[in-house]
A and B are shown apart, each in its own frame.
Chain A
């Protein structure tokens, strides 16, 4: 079955460490997105990518980095520069073109210890 796989489901990070969240899709979607969800804040866009080897900053990109070397993969690195990284992270993808909604992964819950 086609879908988006995020791993790991739970991740613990020590302060000062970088961690990478995985997002893989087999839907042949062109665009991929990373959102951060905090209680009461809804979903906020971190980075997005429309095609391989290209990506743009979203509304809260500081302290995060991404790469898009393959169409299927869009990993997110939470760097030590991100001051408050504890959150729920959602990856999504969609086909190219107007009007399509997102397909979401099941999320990764990151906790700084």
Chain B
């Protein structure tokens, strides 16, 4: 099976712009979680989608949003970018099932805000 893919891999944006990142989960996985990784804060949970519905949400401002499509692909959007949004954004997919606990991570999208 192909792994989790994320596009683009690198992105440079200017303060005030918005950005959309994409994540394609492993085939058959319906849960997609997003994380932000920075040197200062480490890995922080953004949100999780399952069957096109947001099930869990972390403590991030409303500028961070996401969605999931019927094919389980997910996008996250950051509006009004700030310098502090520069980070590696990781998505992870999980199989469906009561005991499906392993998250499979993508390579990440490196966002730089100037």
Q: Decide if A and B are genuine partners.
A: no
User: Which residues does A use to contact B, with CB under 8 Å?
Assistant: none
User: Which residues does B use to contact A, with CB under 8 Å?
Assistant: none
